[in-house]
Structure 1
Amino acid sequence: MVTVPARRLVLLGGGFSTDEDGLLDDWLLARARGPRPRVCFLPTASGDAPGYVDRFLDAFRPRHCEPAVLPLFRRELDDDALRAFLLAQDVVYVGGGNTANLLAVWRVHGVDRLLREAYDRGTLLCGISAGANCWAGASHTDSFGPLAVLRDGLGLLPGSVCPHYDSEPGRRPSYRRAVATGALPAGWALEDGVGTLFTDGRLQEAVARRPGARLYRVEPDGRGTADERAVPCRPLGTTA
């Protein structure tokens, strides 16, 4: 009998680039398969910014994992090598930046298809900001300057995603308005400091690295506004 691996996604409201305590990244690695997981960083959304890559390597090299980076703006791997490399990873960690540009570059190089294949094979996909937006079918993004709707995501997570729900001016009312009017489908809004694990598209776990950080489920209420429901988050450092 063939065992089908669970398909898992993690959305991060923080991580190595913003959090000094490293709690969210430690929580992420604890959910990876294998005792020493291979973790690939995709810095595409930032244009493969060298400083961002350095912060990732500085954060993950001391941890019990095997970190690697996949640059696409100066790509070195042919199609076969690229597929072999991505499918060998236990975790794919996508950084922040421009969601629309990220998706466009991935599609040019066929990375979107490879990530779907990796997902179906059990690779844990995750990311922060743009790296959280990209997995959903739609998202709330500043890719075009002002906050806007993007309905061009990979669709591995049903609905929509909104990061930085509590930390960037205008995010909350703009996202609620987009969901209320149907411009965006119902979805998940992450405050900074939250981590969420989805298995086969269903929320399995929500955690917070700081007191009071919340995850919200936002849905239209049928009366022209949006219903916002806080989801309990386990404080990191406590027992599940």
Structure 2
Amino acid sequence: MALVPERRLALLGGGFSTDDDGLLDDWVLDQVPVPHPKVCFVPTASGDAPAYIEQFFRAYQPRSCEPSVLHLFRRELDDDALRTFLLSQDVLYVGGGNTANLLAVWRAHGVDRLLREAFDRGTLLCGISAGANCWAEGSHTDSFGPLTHLSDGLGLLSGSVCPHYDSEPGRRSSYQAAVATRALPAGWAVEDGVCALFTDGLLADAVTRTPQSCLYRLEPGDDGGVTERAIRCRLLVAPQQPT
């Protein structure tokens, strides 16, 4: 009987676009049990910003992987080629930007369906900011200007997600209010520097590049409030250089 692949996704609170140490990028590659994984960057949320794409290649070309980019704003692949390309990847890494726009563009091109298929086949899905929001049922976002809730997402992870929980003013209180009032379902708040890995819908690992950063689980309380539980994260450290 054929083994069913594990379905895995990671919520990133950092990486090549924000950090200089490369710890979270190395961690992402370590999750893939192949020697030279194919890593596709999906910069849809930023409108395929060229500088963002260049930043990705600067970070991943020196690593032991095969980096590539999915362009949708100047799309060159037909539907069959797009499916073949995405399903050949070991990692699909979604960049930050506008969550609502990201989801709309994906659906227009059928990428949402292909991501589900890749997920079911065992491809590691991950991303930062909008690239973390998109996997859940709902998310906390500034896609429309002010911070608000977006009751929309791919639903590959149950519940909701809030990125930048500690670094952007108003994030914490606004997300707590959305969960307390059930505008968003219970979910996960990711501080900068943290990464949370989910396997088949369950939290499998939580790591951080900075000792003070945390992952939080938020659930609505019976009294109309919210409960917030800090999840201990494993500290990532850079390998020592030989002397």
Secondary structure of the structure 2 residue equivalent to 1:227? strand
Structure 1 segments (4+ residues) deviating >3 Å: none
Hey, what does 1:48 align to over in structure 2?
48
Q: 2 CA distance for matches of 1:208 and 1:223?
A: 32
Q: Is the 8 A contact 1:197 1:203 kept in 2?
A: yes
> How much has 1:238 moved relative to structure 2?
8.5
Q: Does 1:159 pair with 2:162?
A: no
Hey, what does 1:192 align to over in structure 2?
192
Hey, what does 1:14 align to over in structure 2?
14
CA deviation map 1:109-164 (0-9, x unaligned): 00000000000000000000000000000000000000011111000000000000
Q: 2 CA distance for matches of 1:157 and 1:233?
A: 20
Q: Is the 8 A contact 1:12 1:128 kept in 2?
A: yes
> How much has 1:237 moved relative to structure 2?
2.1
Q: Which residue identity does 1:101 align to in structure 2?
A: N
Q: Does 1:122 pair with 2:122?
A: yes
Secondary structure of the structure 2 residue equivalent to 1:68? strand
Q: 1 CA distance for matches of 2:225 and 2:14?
A: 29
Q: 2 CA distance for matches of 1:89 and 1:238?
A: 27
Q: Which residue identity does 2:139 align to in structure 1?
A: S
Q: Does 1:138 pair with 2:142?
A: no
Q: Is the 8 A contact 2:23 2:238 kept in 1?
A: no
Hey, what does 1:62 align to over in structure 2?
62
Q: Which residue identity does 2:227 align to in structure 1?
A: D
Hey, what does 1:232 align to over in structure 2?
232
CA deviation map 1:168-201 (0-9, x unaligned): 0000000000000000000000000001110001
Hey, what does 1:93 align to over in structure 2?
93
Hey, what does 2:113 align to over in structure 1?
113
Q: 1 CA distance for matches of 2:34 and 2:71?
A: 25
> How much has 1:210 moved relative to structure 2?
0.6
Q: 2 CA distance for matches of 1:54 and 1:131?
A: 18
Secondary structure of the structure 1 residue equivalent to 2:149? strand
Hey, what does 1:71 align to over in structure 2?
71
Quick one: percent identity of the two aligned structures? 73
Secondary structure of the structure 2 residue equivalent to 1:48? coil
CA deviation map 1:61-114 (0-9, x unaligned): 000100000010000000000000000000000000000000000000000000
Q: 2 CA distance for matches of 1:238 and 1:9?
A: 23
Hey, what does 2:102 align to over in structure 1?
102
Q: 1 CA distance for matches of 2:6 and 2:184?
A: 27
Secondary structure of the structure 2 residue equivalent to 1:92? strand
Hey, what does 1:2 align to over in structure 2?
2
> How much has 1:226 moved relative to structure 2?
0.5
Structure 2: runs of 5 or more not aligned: none
> How much has 1:222 moved relative to structure 2?
1.0
Q: 1 CA distance for matches of 2:33 and 2:158?
A: 24
- Structural RMSD (CA): 1.0
> How much has 1:33 moved relative to structure 2?
3.1
Q: Is the 8 A contact 1:33 1:90 kept in 2?
A: no
Hey, what does 2:26 align to over in structure 1?
26
Q: Is the 8 A contact 2:211 2:235 kept in 1?
A: yes
**TM-score, reference length from structure 2:** 0.97
Q: 2 CA distance for matches of 1:133 and 1:114?
A: 18
**TM-score, reference length from structure 1:** 0.98
Q: Which residue identity does 2:80 align to in structure 1?
A: D
